[in-house]
Amino acid sequence: MARVRRGFKRRHRSNRLLKMSSGYRERRGNTIRKAKEQVRRSLRFAYIHRRQNKRNFRRLWIARINAACRMNGTRYADFIHALARTGAAVDRKVLADIAVHDPAGFARIVQGVASGSPGPA
């Protein structure tokens, strides 16, 4: 059987791996074996944390909406239920942004939802 020379392919794969691991400390950034382990681990954490990031932001938005609702004399659960009943198509991200940057506008939305109409959109 003929001998396999892996010059280009191996170097290409190794260089791609080392480029991904640049900036890591000590041997994790410049030796193939350690870089491979660390890159695999890093990619796994990146995958997990992309999903956790979505959860964390949703929790933040809910906390902000709840605080703004309490300032306007209602509960978060009641507000969301009334919002769904009126059929307003506003998600939590937008509601949290309105609650933080335009408290008067959020108060109008809360009053509109409480009265049964979607309020100013």
Q: What is the pLDDT of residues 77-120, one digit of tens each?
A: 999 999 988 887 888 999 999 999 999 999 999 998 888 655 55
Question: 5-31: per-residue pLDDT in tens?
Answer: 777 888 899 999 999 999 998 998 989
Q: Is the pLDDT of residue 59 over 80?
A: yes
Give the count of beta carbons closer than 10 Å to the beta carbon of residue 50. 9
Say what the pTM is. 0.74
Sequence-distant (≥ 6) Cβ neighbours of residue 53 within 8 angstroms? none
Q: Tell how far CA 109 is from the center of its chain.
A: 26
What domains are there in the chain, each with its CATH number? 7-115 (1.10.1900.20)
Summary mean pLDDT of the chain: 90
